[in-house]
Amino acid sequence: MTVLLPGPPAWSVAPFAHGGDAAGGPAWLPLFPVALLAGGYLLAAVRDPRGWDHRRTAAWLVGCAMLAVAVGPLAQFPDDPRGHVAQHLLLGMLAPLGLVLGAPVTLLLRVAPTPVRRTVGRLLRARPLHLIAHPVTAALLSTGGLALVLLTPLYAAAERQPVLHHAVHLHYLAAGYLFAWSLAGPDPAPRRPGLAVRVGALLGAAAGHAVLAKYLYARAGILPPGLDNPDPAAFRAAAQLMYYGGDLAELLLATALFATWYHRHPHRLRPLAKRFAGSS
């Protein structure tokens, strides 16, 4: 991807927006559901009678660790837009990929009682899920949701209202999970589109993310609207972090997409590999 800006990217860890006091309640409280996710998954993995893949467990725990970083200690320093962008990268792009690669639905289907498995099966076949989990829809929810936050007064409102602040973060996580699942999820997904549609959705989301980062950089100090005394330098640094961090997350997602596709369709590449081997 073409370099956006001269100079090094803003990789240094900056104070994260929306600290524990601003959101209300103890600073450790958001870590509690993350601990439940990690503990519940480990318990289910131990109960799997056929033995659960340790690589799936590791991916899930990495995703949980990223969630903990996003909502825990790094979320305690308010008033820095780089924090909001870093939380978006963790909650909406990096952590969901780890969680998706953990294949939690498959694990649930292997350890849950029959009535639960039937319920999960009905949910997976439900038309509303097919709509929102389509790669194009999920891309719009993910990248479009971030644009809605940064290009409207929603960002400023979320800084002042704890409920809205948590809702924005929950949207990042849910939309990011749906997007990663629709592209590269090893879990069952009836009527999942073909590889071309998924690659197209990924490229479109990557382009939208990059354009949004460039626009935020160019309009630093004006966007997001509704802020009191915005710091243009901080928002330019946030735009850099969004641009370069998004590149990394999208590269990892593309790798997972092709790896998952090959795992399901190895026969499609074997003739091509034999052809190349024969020509050499």
Judged on CB neighbours under 10 Å (0-12, 13-18, 19+), 10 is: buried
Residue 272 lies in a domain: no
pLDDT at residue 160 in the model: 87
Asked if residue 3 is part of any domain, the answer here is: no
> Is position 67 within any domain?
yes
Q: Is the residue at 276 inside a domain?
A: no
The Cα-based distances of 38 to 41, 64, 102, 105, 119 in angstroms read 5, 6, 11, 14, 23
What is the DSSP code string of 191-259?
T---HHHHHHHHHHHHHHHHHHHHHHHHTBTTBSTT-SS--HHHHHHHHHHHHHHHHHHHHHHHHHHHH
pLDDT of residue 266: 60
Bond into 230 cis (ω within 30)? no
Assigned domain for 155 exists: yes
Asked if 192 contacts 182 with a C-beta cutoff of 8 angstroms, the reply is yes
pLDDT tens, residue by residue, 234-249: 999 999 999 999 999 9
In whole angstroms, give the CA distance from residue 208 to residue 263.
Answer: 29
- pLDDT tens-place string over residues 132-148: 999 999 999 999 999 99
Q: What residues make up the domain containing 36?
A: 20-263
pLDDT for 274 equals 52
Q: How far apart are alpha carbons 67 and 60 in whole angstroms?
A: 11
Tens of pLDDT, residue by residue over 21-46, are: 444 556 678 899 999 999 999 999 99
User: Is residue 59 included in any domain, yes or no?
Assistant: yes
The residues, any chain, with a CB within 8 Å of residue 129's CB and separated by 6 or more, are 123
176 is a domain residue: yes
Helices 81-89 & 232-264 angle (0-180, nearest 10): 0
Q: How many independent structural domains does the chain possess?
A: 1
**CA separation, residue 166 to residues 71, 170, 232, 251 (Å):** 10, 6, 25, 28
Residue 5 banded pLDDT, cuts 50, 70, 90: very low
Non-local CB neighbours of 278 within 8 Å, separated by 6+ positions: none
- Predicted pLDDT of residue 83: 86
Greater pLDDT, 252 or 20: 252
pLDDT at residue 271 tops 60: no
**212 located within any domain:** yes
